């Protein structure tokens, strides 16, 4: 199997890049953390990689909205390189702040003449929420989620509330198979409300992909449940072979096998 190279894009305020680096390395990739300024100076460097990751954190302090400044950086300085990357059938992943970045950069749901079709905004509670959540895979469109049915992973955000501009947009995403992850209760049921859907997202949406399936964004953190000892109740429930998030990163590596 060919060994893919993963570029983990970091910048001011990102703080989950080392966890993502560990996850991809454990899955068999060669992972490298690259500052966005370095990539801006040489966008062609992206051609050396097969996976692009926007990790979590608080890029640029979320000063004008979570992920917005990083999204502007991608749009204005790297759009051609990222479009070429995507069109070469490579993979792009955004986690938490990275999901906000990809969505606001138009890489998941392109805007129309009236503006963005969807966004991630403040949690319904009006508070930053940090807890473990149950997820269900609701579409087979994304190669990142191959053979994954359920996940139990942590989330930590203040602006993870997925909102579509119109109801028809929300329905269209679902019909196209782009709604790939939903929050559930421990039994796998959607519609359970808070705290199971911790942010109030429409249709319990926790993650979506683009029309190709190769660009994935999700609010929870699979990179924080790679080792079985990261499970909050492993001493009571016993150790699994690996954490629930591991398969997502392994799938990305095996995609290039």
Tokens of 78: 């790297």
List CB contacts of 245: < 8 A, sequence separation 6 or more.
23, 151, 153, 221, 222, 223, 224, 225, 226
Determine which one of 16, 54, 96, 209 is catalytic: 96
Annotated catalytic residue 76: no
d(CA 51, CA 144): 11
Tell me whether strands 5-10 and 30-35 are parallel, antiparallel or unpaired.
parallel
Annotated catalytic residue 96: yes
**Nearest Cα to Cα of residue 98 among 37, 167, 7:** 7
d(CA 170, CA 203): 8
Tokens of 33: 């953390």
In which region does residue 166 sit, left (phi positive, over 0), alpha (psi from -120 to 50) or beta (all else)? beta
Determine which one of 54, 223, 225, 231 is catalytic: 223
d(CA 183, CA 135): 5
Determine which one of 122, 221, 225, 231 is catalytic: 221
Active centre residues (catalytic): 96, 221, 223
């Amino acid at each position: 199997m060919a060994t893919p190279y993963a570029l983990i894009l970091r910048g001011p305020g990102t703080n989950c890049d080392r966890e993502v680096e560990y996850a991809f390395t454990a899955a068999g990739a060669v992972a490298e953390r690259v500052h966005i300024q370095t990539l801006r100076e040489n966008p062609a460097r992206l051609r050396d990689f097969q996976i692009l990751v926007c990790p979590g954190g608080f890029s640029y302090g979320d000063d004008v909205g979570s992920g917005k400044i990083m999204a502007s950086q991608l749009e204005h300085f790297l759009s051609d390189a990222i479009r070429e990357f995507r069109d070469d059938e490579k993979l792009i992943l955004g986690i938490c702040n990275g999901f906000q970045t990809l969505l606001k950069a138009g890489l998941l749901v392109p805007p129309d003449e009236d503006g963005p079709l969807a966004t991630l905004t403040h949690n319904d509670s009006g508070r930053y929420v940090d807890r473990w959540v149950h997820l269900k895979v609701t579409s087979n469109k994304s190669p990142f989620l191959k053979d994954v049915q359920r996940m139990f992973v942590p989330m930590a955000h203040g602006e993870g509330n997925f909102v579509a501009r119109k109801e028809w947009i929300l329905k269209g995403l679902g019909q196209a198979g782009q709604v790939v992850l939903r929050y559930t209760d421990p039994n796998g049921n959607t519609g359970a409300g808070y705290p199971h859907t911790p942010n109030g997202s429409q249709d319990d949406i926790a993650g979506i992909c683009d029309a190709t399936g190769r660009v994935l964004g999700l609010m929870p953190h699979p990179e924080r449940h790679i080792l079985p000892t990261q499970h909050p109740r492993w001493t009571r429930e016993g150790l699994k072979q690996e954490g629930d998030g591991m398969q997502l990163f392994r799938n990305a590596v095996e995609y290039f096998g």
